[in-house]
Amino acid sequence: MTKVNYGRLTAGLIAVWFLSALMASALHVFKTPADKPPLPLLLAVLIPLGVFWVWYRSSGSFKAFVLSLNPGTLTSIHSWRLAGFAFLVLYTYGILPGVLALPAGWGDIAIGATALLVGMKFSSPKHKRSFITWQLLGMTDLVTAITLGAAARFIEPQVLAGPHAITTSPMTVLPLSLIPTFAVPLLLILHIICIAQAMRWSEQRYGSIGQAEGSFAA
């Protein structure tokens, strides 16, 4: 399969994934009571990661396509995480608990604010260590947010109980449910791709946006 075909297939799969997450959210598939662990949400995060990893490890042509993508472009995509400011707003208005909203919000803002700089200036073999470190920090932010969201009822039981409880339940319904069911696993995949690319920088160099210098394995 050519790179163009893989690009179209990948774009189509991402679109289907988004629509599936949207439809499942509309049907309240991910809605979970505050006193129950959000297992459907956790599965929605883990399954796409598992599918990507199996495909990447089992298909040489897909792996070549993934590694041919420009890491600077993939990194710059994270600039939209500046929208993490919304978590701080939701915390201010008592919609989400601080144990989730504050670290998730400030973490996303930090990653989003530096994404363009890292994508344009640090996505090269010269800055390999710094580039990988930033990617790991971005992954840590996402994993921390998911972990805190799942464990919030144990960390702040006094906030998550009672008639005026502030719970993480809004994250299980639209529109916020699209964050853990679509945005988080997609962004984790982008981080994984960039780290995999950086680990090979001694073997190849990147040219124009969207592709590496050299041939693409069909």
Looking at the domain assignment, is residue 214 inside a domain?
A: no
Residue 148 domain boundaries = 3-30+39-198
Domain count, the chain: 1
Measured CA to CA in angstroms, residue 1 lies from 4, 5, 52 at distances of: 8, 6, 17
Looking at the domain assignment, is residue 206 inside a domain?
A: no
Residue pLDDT tens, the chain, 218 long: 788 899 999 999 999 999 999 999 999 999 987 777 889 999 999 999 999 999 999 999 999 999 999 999 999 999 999 999 999 999 999 999 999 999 999 999 999 999 999 999 999 999 999 999 999 999 999 999 999 988 887 777 655 566 678 888 899 999 999 999 999 999 999 999 999 999 999 755 554 444 554 445 43
Looking at the domain assignment, is residue 168 inside a domain?
A: yes
DSSP 3-state of 30 = coil
Helix axes 98-117, 128-155, angle to 10 degrees: 170
Looking at the domain assignment, is residue 89 inside a domain?
A: yes
Looking at the domain assignment, is residue 217 inside a domain?
A: no
Looking at the domain assignment, is residue 157 inside a domain?
A: yes
